[in-house]
Homo-oligomer: A and B are copies of this chain.
């Protein structure tokens, strides 16, 4: 098929079918959003049936033979000649997804579904009863199946590559390991220095009274100010906050309010707004296609972390927002901006990842990443996992979990089969630091703008460089293209030390 007109017709048909499938995917996302925000309690089981039905219909659409034929035809056509052009990237990424989906045998998919459903049930019980042995057989089965999955999909260097690829397309384990090891070697000593510092913020000032309605209004205003468009999205309340995309102009953020702790909802809202701003900045005409989709989970997390931490926990941000905050919350009346700024940047080694601060968080991730690789390549047996976990916590964070419930059993991920997911959290922090660095190189210091409540220049830079790129380049390539150098841990370390040294008097 060398006829360009025919090629274009095949491409157009593939685009239209893919957009239709994405439209059903967005319906599925609405079912999920509603389930986690407004669903009446007794409606849960019918909703699960609806989700299964729709997910089956979507799977049929995605794996239809005519999709495979179109992709096969286009992969060797002139349209695919530039793999980073809009059209080329769409063909490349759709082929990648289709191949992966069709390489894994149906029995393995079903076995994984069963194992992870049982796995999550077993994990809930095990965590409740601090009973790792009760969870061990399920975890062994899940790891066995994930290795089988990796083998079915295929890999060049190691099986973990194939798993990582589901969340960070085309990333290489060796490369991620190199940069996270570099980070660990500088971060662990920094965290130890901070733990030993005598100068410490008073975090009790964040545990005062903050009324939900006032938090909601203050958080919404801040999210709008940094650039989240509330005509193309919303903010609702949920138990486990998330951001979901229900259409090109329909991005739903969620948060939860703790009336006795300010940071949880506020920085949570900025975090989800960062995800949402990214989704709102993707190319609308490519919605539903790879070129209109986020590059990777790591890039997604870079956007949420950048707005949450590099912007939202910066001193300049509070130069602008502290006065309105004092006006909104009477409990901040006797607090200075400096006290507040120090408190929201408190760093302290702790047991639980989801409660960890900006600096120690990455050590939690590195521990999981190292253990996941060892489990997948056979260097660590599941039976030895609790000991390995505790040893790493002692080694990197200087603390030892008192039990497995608050140690190796704290995360749902492994019970759900999510191996290769954790590193994307730290990749997000690394990308964020590199991107923010480059943005300041291009546009100058942002602090004076933030202090005036101006975020449009940074947003514009992200829109142009990151958001509009969609999935046209693999994440690492995209960051290197923008920052002019490969992914590196130095910018994140420099950023953390630069901020934390004055606060802790290092």
Chain B residue with Cβ nearest A251? B40
Given B49, B236, B246, which contacts A43 in the complex, CB threshold below 8 Å? B246
A232 within 8 A of B: yes
Q: With A20-B53, A53-B23, A54-B27 in contact, is A46–B247 under 8 Å at CB?
A: yes
CB-CB under 8 A from A43, the residues of chain B are 232, 246-247, 249-250
Q: Which residues from 206 to 248 on chain A have a C-beta closer than 8 Å to any C-beta of chain B?
A: 229-234, 236, 246-248
Number of identical monomers bound together in the oligomeric complex: 2
Number of residues of chain A lying within 8 A (CB) of chain B: 33
Q: How far is the CB of A167 from chain B (nearest CB, A)?
A: 26
In the complex, per-residue mask of A55-66: 1 if CB is within 8 Å of any chain B CB, else 0: 001000000000
In the complex, per-residue mask of A464-487: 1 if CB is within 8 Å of any chain B CB, else 0: 000000000000000000000000
CB-CB under 8 A from A57, the residues of chain B are 57
In the complex, are the beta carbons of A247 and B27 less than 8 A apart? no
CB-CB under 8 A from A24, the residues of chain B are 53-54
In the complex, are the beta carbons of A233 and B46 less than 8 A apart? no
In the complex, are the beta carbons of B232 and A42 less than 8 A apart? yes
In the complex, are the beta carbons of B27 and A234 less than 8 A apart? no
A30, A34, A43, A236 pick with most chain B CB within 10 angstroms: A43
CB-CB under 8 A from A27, the residues of chain B are 27, 31, 50, 54
A117 within 8 A of B: no
Bound: A34/B250 CA distance, A: 11
CB-CB under 8 A from A231, the residues of chain B are 40-42
Q: With A30-B31, A43-B246, A249-B43 in contact, is A234–B38 under 8 Å at CB?
A: yes
Q: Which residues from 152 to 198 on chain A have a C-beta closer than 8 Å to any C-beta of chain B?
A: none
Bound: A229/B43 CA distance, A: 12
Bound: A49/B234 CA distance, A: 20
Q: How far is the CB of A47 from chain B (nearest CB, A)?
A: 7
Chain B residue with Cβ nearest A34? B30
A40, A54, A57, A231 pick with most chain B CB within 10 angstroms: A40
Bound: A230/B43 CA distance, A: 11
Chain B residue with Cβ nearest A246? B43
Bound: A50/B46 CA distance, A: 21
CB-CB under 8 A from A247, the residues of chain B are 43, 46-47, 50
A39 within 8 A of B: yes
Chain B residue with Cβ nearest A53? B23
In the complex, are the beta carbons of B23 and A49 less than 8 A apart? yes
A388 within 8 A of B: no
Q: How far is the CB of A27 from chain B (nearest CB, A)?
A: 6
Q: Which residues from 246 to 261 on chain A have a C-beta closer than 8 Å to any C-beta of chain B?
A: 246-250
Bound: A26/B46 CA distance, A: 10
CB-CB under 8 A from A249, the residues of chain B are 40, 42-43, 46
CB-CB under 8 A from A42, the residues of chain B are 229, 231-232, 249-250
Chain B residue with Cβ nearest A229? B42
CB-CB under 8 A from A23, the residues of chain B are 46, 49-50, 53
Chain B residue with Cβ nearest A249? B42
CB-CB under 8 A from A246, the residues of chain B are 43
Q: How far is the CB of A475 from chain B (nearest CB, A)?
A: 27
In the complex, are the beta carbons of B232 and A40 less than 8 A apart? yes
Bound: A445/B15 CA distance, A: 66
CB-CB under 8 A from A250, the residues of chain B are 39-40, 42-43, 46-47
Bound: A23/B49 CA distance, A: 8
Bound: A43/B229 CA distance, A: 12
Bound: A122/B67 CA distance, A: 42
In the complex, per-residue mask of A19-33: 1 if CB is within 8 Å of any chain B CB, else 0: 010011011001100
Bound: A40/B252 CA distance, A: 9
A38, A53, A57 pick with most chain B CB within 10 angstroms: A38
Chain B residue with Cβ nearest A38? B234
In the complex, are the beta carbons of A233 and B49 less than 8 A apart? no
Q: Which residues from 365 to 412 on chain A have a C-beta closer than 8 Å to any C-beta of chain B?
A: none
Given B31, B38, B39, B46, which contacts A248 in the complex, CB threshold below 8 Å? B46
Bound: A236/B40 CA distance, A: 12
18 contacts between A and B (CB under 8 A): A20-B53, A23-B46, A23-B49, A24-B54, A27-B54, A30-B31, A30-B34, A34-B34, A38-B234, A39-B250, A40-B230, A40-B233, A42-B231, A42-B232, A43-B247, A43-B250, A46-B249, A50-B247
Task: In the A-B complex, list the 8 residue pairs whose CB atoms are closest, starting with the nearest.
Answer: A43-B250, A42-B249, A46-B247, A42-B232, A43-B249, A42-B231, A41-B231, A43-B247
